[in-house]
Structure 1
Amino acid sequence: MSQPSPTPERRPRRHGRRLRLTVAGLVLLGIAGYGAYYVVESRTQRAGCTVAADGDTMKLESQQAANASTIAAVATSRGLPERALTIALATSMQESMLRNLDHGDRDSLGLFQQRPSQGWGTPEQIMDPVHATNEFFDGLVKIEGYARLPLTVAAQEVQKSAFPQAYAKHEADATLLTSALTGRRPGALNCVLGSGETVTTGDPARVRTALAREFGPRVAPRPAEGRAGGGTARERTVQVPSGPAGGAAGDGKRRGWELAQWAVAHSADLKVEKVSFRDKQWRAADSGKGWQKSDTSAAETADGDVRITVAQ
């Protein structure tokens, strides 16, 4: 007598269990794969800068941060108010995305897309961010009451753009960036190296030259100690008093943060290894951690100087 064949109900159940096990396995593999991806991503550090204050965040490329800090330094050298800087930053964001472009509409060039044919300077001059920024401010300060005007109106009076309302969309970011670059928001700006990148040899003389060109006589580094470009940290450090010449007694902290964050913004092009001010420091090697408690001596912390150390 032959054995009875399996009941029709049992095969679909066995098949269903296999299907559920297969799906569960795929889900577990997916979770494991995502976990591995997350670990790799968390250890991968992308180069660039961040401005964060009052719950707002702005991402910048290293070159954008450096150019923005140059614009801010020039504004400081001229004694201009924050509103002037905000107008300039918003204008450059619209015209070039804070990049020093060697091309543009017709003969437009540089941070503000200025045209040699319109009297802004030679192509070489316009490609110099300090010259280009001074040219913009030369036009801005001629506008009566510019600080009280809507940003779009003030920017348009200088630029004569075909799209004057486009400047408005950058006002919030420009205001946030202004608060960091003027030192009003201490530690708001941080720049990081990409994974695998290292800081190559820097030159303290280049730092001094950049400070002089961008900030002018309002910033005067202390005389160099030791050999220029030497091997010790002291010999590689540019020391800048935080108090501006002729400034009010309460200006020191804000000016110090302005200088410190300028140095961090220029860390990639000036090969900066460390920046310290008062009880805080930024280190290229730990740039992902942002500003940390300083490891400098109590005497160095107390003197209020900004110290910019280049890599050896």
Structure 2
Amino acid sequence: MTRLRILHHTAYRYNRRVTLSYNEARMTPLTEPQQVVLESQVRVTPTQAAVSSYKDYWGTRVTAFDMQIPHEFLEVVSSTTVEVHRVERVPAEGDIVSWERLRSPELEDQFSDWLPQSRLSGPGSEVLGTLPGVVEGLDPHRAAHAVFEWLRGEMRYRPGSTAVTTDAEQAWNQREGVCQDLAHLAIGSLRSLGIPARYISGYLHPRSSADIGEVVAGQSHAWLEWWDGEWRSWDPTNHKPAGDFHVTVARGRDYRDVPPLKGILSGGGGSHLDVGVEITRLA
């Protein structure tokens, strides 16, 4: 178990005055069986913003705010204290569904959000042609791990090598990407085999050896979950299941469902973006 305090700061400085804007922030972690939010707050500056919150279709807590006064900057600060206690259960033989069961109309309907390829998850014809040989003779659980291991040997993590609009096929073609791309590629590969998979956005404390109370530069992070009889996690950047230093904020089909901050505005003429995440281990 870990208890983490997370401070996520985002600031836009506009080149010209913005007359009005509407924005949505997805920065508040979820409360669920393996993590509990103890306290959370999202602060918006200028303070004249009209702020509300709701849960979207995917169950993510969204802070929505509109600014109907002229403004030259926008700051959003999310602070959260969360306890995480993850248990990755080793499946027994009877826990894994068969390929036949996965392809049944009942499960295809149940997981209809997580089986079709989304705009960013399609891995392309080269990957699709290779995957059958990677998973031949394996049940869905072992097949998923075979896919992860194969992608580990093919892809390289390289910061700054892609953009948020990069899709899985583009990342594959250059054989490198960031956590978002590695997650998209693994998700698209699993979906192409008929294994439900979904994109996870959250935070990662990068240093498990940090002292209690030590503030470290944290990371917004992406990983995935897939279903083979129950939902399981995998972090393709770090080649392991999500652990007590992973904090889940949002789930979706791909990054487009879960951006930390998005909006529309009138005016501005361009902007400078500054983002920082600080994570402190409290227990």
TM over 0.5: no
Q: Specify the structure having the higher radius of gyration (Cα).
A: 1
- Under a length normalisation based on structure 2, what TM-score does the superposition of the two structures give? 0.29
- Taking CA–CA contacts closer than 8 Å with sequence separation of 6 or more, which of the two structures ends up with the larger relative contact order? 2
| Higher share in helix | 1
Higher strand share: 2
Provide the TM-score with structure 1 as the length reference. 0.27
